[in-house]
Structure 1
């Protein structure tokens, strides 16, 4: 079965939510992090109007599921309104309406394989200190 790769830029629409899924055979019994949030895929087209430099030609919201090992670290970095680039497998999905659970709604969902933060609205970045690796002794072994 062929899989398709969808790559897009958009803005995060809600604070990402980190969930821990119970372990299973695939994860060796270990709980797995699942990061969930939504991103607006916007189709902006440049205009000649200086008062409105872009025209929205119709976009849509995409529900994002990210199962990567760095999901916990990303949950601390990603924020509502942040511009991101997402890569993954796009699909049409259905789920119960949050206001009326007896009604099913549908929309686009994506299982992300890569999440990149775009620098447009990032003000600063702070890296944590690196831990010193063990230095090899005169025999080439870590001390």
Structure 2
């Protein structure tokens, strides 16, 4: 069972990166984060957390290793993906249920950021432009009045 998830929270520990090799295919890369999704309620100008919870967040992506260096403990993130219910047994054979989030996107929010810098584009990566940029670079069309 799974359902759509969108939540904002803080990364609670250093990210964990794993790489899984399979035959001659490109390895699959996994990034795991432990995120506290809070529920802040404003009262008289101050915030109180009501009903927040910790959840493991996993994202499979070829850039997971690089992202493991980017994401940091305490960083505010916006996670979009789906919740997945996992059942398991503890050491005493008691049934347990855990919910994890399989992320499609993890966005860094600007809270507590001191600086943002972009990497240079590599020469092997084709440059992409947005439709707006492409439209802006077209020569202007001459308009003729309609009669």
Normalised by the length of structure 2, the TM-score is: 0.72
- Asked if 2 retains the 8 angstrom alpha-carbon contact of 1:34 and 1:66, the reply is yes
| 1:17-73 deviation per Cα after TM superposition (whole angstroms, max 9, x unaligned) | 11001227xxx722111001110011111111x4xx111111111101110222122
**Which stretches in structure 2 are left out of the alignment for 5+ residues?**
126-147
Residue equivalent to 2:91:
102
Deviations 1:70-125 (A, max 9, x none): 212211100000000001110233567xxxx7257543201100010000111111
Alignment of 1:123-142 (within 5 A): 123-132=114-123
**Is 2:64 the counterpart of 1:74?**
no
* Structure number with larger C-alpha Rg: 2
The question of 1:39 aligning with 2:32 is answered no
The aligned residue for residue 89 of structure 1 is: 82
1:115 aligns with 2:106: yes
8 Å contact 2:2–2:84 — kept in the other structure? no
Unaligned runs of 5+ in 1: 135-143
Q: Is 1:21 aligned to residue 20 of structure 2? A: yes
Distance 1:94 1:35 in 2: 21
